[in-house]
Amino acid sequence: MHVKVVVDWVTFTWAFSPTTRSSCPSQGWLFICPDAQLRSGPCSFRWPECAAYWSRDPLGAVRLSPEEAEEAGFPLITLKLRAGGESWDSIDYAALWQFHQGKGFTPDSQEIARHLGYPLYQLCDEVAVETPFAHGKLSLSNPNVH
């Protein structure tokens, strides 16, 4: 069964939870990818291969693996993607399908959205090309993003 949805919004979230380790890291930096790396095209989105990582190096050149970061006492990073939109029941879809077919469109294609000028969204599971980033740093000794 295919569900058709008009996407209204897409949200990427980085959530942090305490580690199970009792040690508190002396100093470290959190590097978060720039917004542009969340897009894989004009209307397609994905998590990049490395959306966030901890480093003891203020320039972020040396990444800690998730295991190393946990062992060092850094908070665990959880990535979440949420999308929301509108959908209708099957009776409404059947009526719209017949209406669009009557207008000469192929209802099961993206032809109608293109005709109306709506953007076409696509969620990708492709691995992003890794590019270095050095902004959005968070120091544990100074919790303000700088």
| 44: CB partners within 8 A, 6+ apart | 121, 122, 123, 124
Pairing of strands 76-86, 29-32: unpaired
Q: Around Cβ 30, how many Cβ atoms within 10 Å?
A: 22
Q: What is the Cα–Cα distance from 104 to 73, expressed in whole angstroms?
A: 61
Q: What is the pLDDT of residue 122?
A: 62
Tens digits of residue pLDDT in 8-63: 888 888 888 877 766 676 688 999 988 888 888 777 778 888 889 999 999 999 99
Least Cα distance to 52 among 125, 140, 135, 123 occurs for 135
Q: What is the pLDDT of residue 89?
A: 80
Q: What is the pLDDT of residue 98?
A: 93
| Backbone CA torsion sign across 109, 111, 114, 116 | negative
Q: Around Cβ 46, how many Cβ atoms within 10 Å?
A: 20
Alpha helices, DSSP H only, in 19-65? Answer: none
Please name the amino acid found at residue 64: L
Q: What is the pLDDT of residue 22?
A: 60
| Backbone CA torsion sign across 69, 74, 76, 80 | negative
